[in-house]
A and B are shown apart, each in its own frame.
Chain A
Amino acid sequence: MLAAPSLVRAQGAGSIKIGEINSYTAQPAFLKPYRQGWELALEQVNAGGGVLGRKIETIFRDDAGKPEDAVRHAGDLINAEKVDLLSGGFLSNVGLALTDFALQNKRLYAASEPLSDALVWAKGNRYTFRLRPSTYMQAAMLVEEAAKLKARKWALVAPNYEYGQSSIKWFKELLKKARPDVEFVAEQYPALGRIDAGATVQALEASKPEAIFNVTFAVDLTNLVRQGNTRGLFEGRDVVSMLTGEPEYLDPLGAETPTGWIVTGYPHADLATPEHVKFRDAYKAKYNDYPRLGSVVGFDTMNSIAAALAKAGTTDNEKLIDAMEGLKFPSAFGSAEYRAIDHQSTLGAFVGKTALKDGKGVMVDWRYADGAKYLPSDDVVKTMRPAG
């Protein structure tokens, strides 16, 4: 404890800098709320005196959805701006590029949003931590519900890129394990953002499934739902759907929202835990808008970094990483932890059903699925993570 004041002096009294790289212009629907959530947390942390007696400062950079631009910003941020650590990433490939950059440059990278399993497992490394529940975790949460359904014949639809493909892979693998009697009768992989909804709906319909697992989101989801509603694809069928309960994707559906879908998401209006109410009130007061899931991710990422800094007592990245392994941090969903074994946080998601209320889509019958319960056993994780 005696060393602390001299440590602060040695690091200089300037602010702690975080370089935050994200696809702000390419994915504004998620990332505008994200940035607002981040700035809210930043304001709160700094209002409380910052961490280690220093204010935190964020330098935001837009990667335009390109991994190579993200890497350029990362290099510029650590060399020119002298940031202490990196954060951000929305697309999985941007996240992976930053993961590898972090390893090469021995710099902490707090990945907030990218869902790819590879980020913490196959390509995981000492320098990368990830906040969001991964593709595996969200698929596992939904499989738990899907296994309870009577349906045996499943049709699958997912955007044609890594997130979509690995969601399907895990869903099939885990569901088959829980229910050996299921079969998968159709798979559709529309190009991301370019779904030919009418034709896709018809192709799914033709396989006469009893249930549908959907991974499409954003505009693909909207178009799929409209065509599916008109053509009766969802009538009399169970639908299980990734991310659909997130306000970012649920709100554009409006009165078109299909009811009774089993989804992962975020019931922002009804979640009444004290942490969340506090967060939501502060968010509403600052932005005069309700929070989206992106807001929570931004808010939590910032807060988890502040918690790590406070615990480490230094910005030295190696010590910061040691502090972050097993770190418990406050979240708008309650408390969560960065696992020491694979640097995945245990932040969960809400699983519930979609419903219509006053012409808008909402989630009902939801429960919080704690991320810690939807991860493979430690032995399995170790085999999947060569970095250890």
Chain B
Amino acid sequence: MRITRRKTAALVVSAVLAGSLAACSPGGGGSTGSGTVTVYAAASLKKTFTELAAKFEAAHPGTKVTLNFAGSSDLVTQITQGAPADVFASADSKNMTKLSDASLVDGDPVDFATNVLEIAVPPANPASISSFADLAKPGVKVVVCAPQVPCGAATEKVEKASGITLKPVSEESSVADVLGKVTSGEADAGLVYVTDVKTAGDKVKGITFPESGQAANTYPIATVENSKNKELAKAFIELVTGSEGRKVLGDAGFGAP
């Protein structure tokens, strides 16, 4: 009698735990049954992919696109931990390679966009920045991404190629943090992607510079190996890489691959 009661209690507890853990996990464990395609995309793709998802749903009645945006490396971590993604769109090839190495990519990834760095300054441009070299002038407070994240890696590449070494006051972990420092006026300039400057609207002014071409970032997209709806996933990738996708991405500032 006693033992039975304890067993029951243990079962109840594990059920409760399992239930609450499931409720806490991202993605919610929703079904990827027919008609739904779950897309994990780099945070910089938020605006364009939201638009493309709407177009996809309109073109394929009865389908639903579930979007999950985060840093590319976070997304790779989530997918390798078993998150139910059908499509993965990365902001760089490095993270796509990580997923391939884990044998979680179905077929070959396709490059669908490129992105280059741009200087973001407060609208008034208090430090009168007009070139990449200006960023290295003494007294200029410049904020960049840390080398560990894609935009920081690109920054390093540009520095190497141009021979100009920056002395940033901060190396942020994300583009959003760099932009935050610029829009609040704490920094005189920040290095982010063209698309980020576009998204920020008139809160910052973008200054293009030729050296940025040295570090064009390529965005690959692929079907995830464990996808339960590879047909729909492929259809979505076709939309992104097709002319319609090209137009939406181009409007947002992305270059062609």
A, B co-complexed? no
Which A residues contact B (CB, under 8 angstroms)? none
Which B residues contact A (CB, under 8 angstroms)? none
